[in-house]
Amino acid sequence: MNIFRIAAELFLIYLLYKFIFDFIIPIYESSKKIKRQFGEMQEKMDNDIKNYQGHSGPAQPTPKKEDDYIDFEEIKK
């Protein structure tokens, strides 16, 4: 009877080991990696927004073309 109890305890320890090292630790590492990637993406977005706000617009103003307008005339048949 004592051998079965030891075998059951060893089996439970093995299952606990597999659960921790094959499930818990990979999930923890993945969540840490995703959190780091989101932080990098947020930092990049913040830098892009700062660079865009610092931009003063087009370098040269576009000239107005007043001669290109043609008056509309209705043609009746």
Query: Residue 9: pLDDT above 60?
Result: yes
C-alpha 32/C-alpha 30 separation (Å) is: 5
Domain boundaries, the chain: 24-53
pLDDT digits (tens, 9 = 90+) for 21-72: 999 999 999 999 999 999 999 999 999 888 887 665 555 556 666 666 667 7
Which pLDDT score, from 0 to 100, does residue 31 have?
Answer: 96
CA–chain centroid gap for 26, Å, is 20
